[in-house]
Chains A and B, each alone.
Chain A
């Protein structure tokens, strides 16, 4: 006999109320990053040695700009999720752990926004 309600089984969420959300998002971002990373590396090779103007012309054109924004968003989300697990595994002092988690999350959001804003600024000719 199960002590769990039918609703709990249907939702598949345990006592943490988040189920496999974290694990799943890490995989989703990982899958997205596979083609984005390959595009990024090839693009960097093609544009190696490019001047300031050439780099801006490349990043500012529509498809590379959107791909770059996807890469930044996916990468910092994936990095934040990964670093969170590392911190939870190795830092056991509760205060330090909390502080580290908040710093990593804040840094990921700040850097992600800074990267996306920079791409948009180049694209819109600021």
Chain B
């Protein structure tokens, strides 16, 4: 059996981080962050279903500097996970699998996530 050369999965300790591997682990990281964000979403809905005082206290926390910072980070995580999720679905469909395409689509995902995050926040402040 020792003579059989099997491909090893990349070991994080010895592999130099590459663009595509960083994007891959970021998909998981943003997914975990968004799961935590789900708690905030339910908190908001429960507050809206509760009394005006309860909603006021939620809005106070969400509107604070730390609250806004968290919402900003979650916005980026959401757009990144959405874009990269579509990239994953394309791979599942057997498309964009070439190395150059994988690199390029990765750039598109990161840039569009950054742009959409900023545009959303400008639009949100403008709509206020």
Residues of chain A touching chain B, judged by Cβ–Cβ distance below 8 Å, are 27, 30-31, 33-34, 37-38, 41, 44-49, 52, 55-56, 59, 68, 72, 75-76, 79, 82-83, 86, 111, 114-115, 117-119, 121-122, 126
Q: What is the minimal beta-carbon distance from B79 to any residue of chain A, in angstroms? A: 8
- SS class of chain A's interface: helix, strand, loop or mixed? helix
- Write out the residue numbers on chain A whose beta carbons fall within 8 Å of the beta carbon of B59: 52
In Å, the complex CA distance between A49 and B126 comes to 10
Smallest CB-CB separation from A82: which chain B residue? B31
A33 to B35, CA, bound (A): 14
Specify which chain A residues have a CB less than 8 angstroms from the CB of B82 in the assembled complex: 33-34, 37-38
A91 to B57, CA, bound (A): 37
- Given known pairs A34-B82, A82-B31, A115-B42, the reply for A48 and B127 (CB within 8 Å) is yes
Bound CA–CA A15/B92 (angstroms): 23
Contact B127 A122 (CB under 8 A): no
B45 contacts which of A33, A86, A115 (Cβ < 8 Å)? A115
B1 at the interface (CB under 8 A from A): no
Residues of A within 8 A of B45 (CB): 59, 68, 72, 114-115, 118-119, 122
